[in-house]
Chains A and B, each alone.
Chain A
């Protein structure tokens, strides 16, 4: 969740070996109070001039290791080629690591700039003192302080011993955006070379001395108990060392990965039959449909101003959003080495501190006895905010008394996900006698993440309900009467954050319904949006502040760049959708597609406009737009998870149809130059508006309205 943060800096001299500047988000602290705070990074400059940045964010494809380094290097005036990165591990100093919510660059912007500037000022002061000149006559540039008048220069490394003795400026001057040399520059990924040469080290690549391998057979539905299994057969598989029951399933431990796979097959666990009331997604949808017509918890209510015309005509529609899996290509995995009162973990995790805490609790040891090493992540998408796989590995290592690598099979990964929860949305709109929209209602029936400890029934705070209905309660359009509501429906299978969290379903329903409203009064859907984004430029809804000017601008750009309004061939269609993600990142898409005779939608082109505030690395922004579009295409054209007998019915990429090269459109990204003062996130915001832009284009092409995802070709044939 978002926490408002102040910045601060402090220094620690490392025995004259270098200058270290630390920072976190909660205020200035004295060194001896450090453990109360949570630095999200450290800057260290060695006497040889090397700059080491400790990254507190997990790299899972958003390029944060590069963009955070860029932010720091900019203010520090560092030599980009001398930047080295170290990944942070949980500790009393790093007690708030975690990657999600598209917050990494935004967090880093606030803290890293100040840390970089403070270090630069101290280095400059040290140089000025040595030369006995004014600080103002010295300039920092490319890893050195230069005395402008005389041309004398000191490399940073030569200054760190002096600089470390100085006090830290509380409010070092930050650079003017006009003077940026690194921020805003197209900067290749720091990890790029390692990735293309096979050297990049992901969780699955961890190997430590004495390590054995493990696979875990989990109960297929909640409460399932094994009736029979062939334990001896499994143990007879060459390489299998042991078969062990744990609280989370039956583990096969072996000398190598292949033996764990064979051992688990030989084990042939018979789980019997699920109970008749085991979870079934079709029945769940019926509950959601009924719930969507309840009054629910009101998340926003705008009363119409006096004089608003009466409703003369109402339209309504119901939208279904299914379950999805994250399905990252690197399956869940973890290496755990549990010793007497001590544990070391290597994990591809988005939540290192949560992982450390839960492993410590499981083993009954204190936090300082659990070391967590964060590896590169082969796709996160929110799944690795859950730490279930680390707990499993720790339990197996404890039982086996050796370090183990637990690796999930693809089937495990699909069937035991923390799924995107299904939801049903009821929307209605009222028009006055002249056809102007005067009333809007959106009720979302859904389920909050049950991987957290929060019990939705105990929650009374409106902010939670608003979070669960991102994209619904923060409807940006100027309609006099607005009522949005949320209804919580119990969901007994694991569900958690999935890329863009609660927004994709709400924005799908909202943006498709808005299209339906436009068509109900024969209005152009893009012009209709712009019309209803007039009025007050700034709209507040809960914690979200929407700047309609920015939303209008992205719509105007895609209108111009896509050739919106030009005729399209028969069978082709063009659709639009937009969103202001948490009031931060503004995106509009125009999708061009054709629907073949067999009902297959082929998305040919997507024109995107994005305003994410200050752009740190344009390559990263483009990549996230492209990736968000492909992610959305996966969810539009397939990828649904269904449940029968309490278990997911899909188990591989063969029956969860994720987007492939052949599904990929041409993508044009237009980045709006920002006059803003900070950068906003890009990992999640590109996802929500793409699916409604696709289904709106399908309507334009076929006259068929998609209100249930994913799209089935038989619906369009």
Chain B
């Protein structure tokens, strides 16, 4: 048990936690941020994906011993008013069915778009195929990623 300091959604947090506790369970059990989902615990389903400096990471694969001082964003912190281009695109394209995997999908897509603002089918296949949706929302996720990418590019080109 050790004291852990980290930043989640912009807020500094101090916790008592075992060194091997994955960030996933710190978020869910201790911080009450249940938007980040458990699906497999071994990094093969993507349900627990979060962001660090815009890069998508699996919260189930980040033990407490490796996250001190780092800063993460979860689905709850993606935007204050559900206005992130990915969240809007997900609603516009009517992506969710059961919705359980979608926070992870959105965070994975954010990571993809941060690295590749102009993605193509091959990139989407490569990056998004690490995440599981049993309802089969993949065709709409693809459309939503293109829609969000277009909105992000448009914003950039119109801002001074």
Contact = CB atoms under 8 A, between A and B. Distances in A.
Contacts of B22: 258
B18 A652 contact: no
A454 interface: no
Given A197-B35, A257-B25, A331-B38, A378 B136 contact: no
A62 B129 contact: no
A623 B36 contact: no
A198 B133 contact: no
Main secondary structure of the interface of B (DSSP, over half): loop
A660 B136 contact: no
Contacts of B51: none
Between A205, A329, A667, the greatest number of chain B beta carbons within 10 A of the residue's beta carbon is seen for A329
In this complex, which of B30, B129, B135 has the most chain A Cβ atoms within 10 angstroms of its Cβ? B135
Interface in A236-278: 238-239, 256-259, 261-262
A379 interface: yes
A631 B128 CA distance: 17
B29 A61 contact: no
A155 interface: no
B136 A192 contact: no
A214 interface: no
A659 B78 CA distance: 28
B57 interface: no
A192 B144 CA distance: 14
Contacts of A205: 34
Contact of A198 (B34, B44, B130, B140): B34
A198 B130 CA distance: 20
A189 B124 contact: no
Contacts, number: 186
A376 B91 CA distance: 18
A584 B39 CA distance: 35
Given A238-B18, A331-B38, A652-B40, A660 B98 contact: no
A664 B33 CA distance: 31
A277 B141 CA distance: 47
A628 B136 contact: yes
A76 to B, nearest CB: 24
A196 B90 contact: yes
Interface in B73-99: 74-76, 78, 82, 87, 90-91, 94-99
A329 B37 contact: yes
A662 B129 contact: yes
Q: Which of B38, B42, B103 has the most CB of A within 10 A?
A: B38
Contact of A204 (B32, B38, B130): B38
Q: Looking at B34, B101, B106, B126, which has the most chain A CB atoms within 10 Å of its CB?
A: B34
Nearest to A627: B136
A196 B82 contact: yes
Nearest to B79: A197
A654 B39 contact: no
A409 B41 CA distance: 8
A623 B141 CA distance: 12
A627 B137 CA distance: 6
Interface in A187-246: 188-189, 191-193, 195-202, 204-205, 207, 213, 238-239
A407 B139 contact: no
A interface, over-half SS: loop
B139 A664 contact: yes
B42 A654 contact: yes
A196 B18 contact: no
B142 interface: yes
A377 interface: yes
Nearest to A205: B34
Given A63-B97, A198-B74, A407-B38, A661 B128 contact: yes
A410 interface: yes
B20 to A, nearest CB: 8
A619 interface: yes
Contacts of A239: 18
Nearest to A606: B139
A626 B29 contact: no
B156 interface: no
Nearest to B45: A653
B37 A204 contact: yes
B125 A662 contact: yes
A376 B101 CA distance: 13
A391 B34 CA distance: 24
A329 B39 contact: yes
A453 B36 CA distance: 38
Contacts of B47: 329
Interface in B52-83: 74-76, 78, 82
A629 interface: yes
A631 B136 contact: yes
A381 interface: yes
Given A189-B94, A189-B96, A379 B135 contact: yes
A378 B37 contact: yes
B140 A626 contact: yes
- Shortest beta-carbon contacts, A-B, top 3: A198-B35, A630-B136, A378-B100
10 contacts: A61-B96, A197-B35, A200-B99, A204-B34, A256-B25, A328-B134, A329-B100, A378-B100, A661-B142, A664-B142
Interface of B: 1, 18, 20-22, 25, 28-30, 32-42, 44-45, 47, 74-76, 78, 82, 87, 90-91, 94-103, 106, 124-126, 128-142
Given A197-B76, A626-B140, A627-B137, 4 more contacts: A207-B34, A379-B134, A410-B45, A630-B133
Interface of A: 59-63, 188-189, 191-193, 195-202, 204-205, 207, 213, 238-239, 256-259, 261-262, 326-331, 376-381, 407, 409-410, 619, 623, 626-631, 634, 652-654, 658-664, 666-667
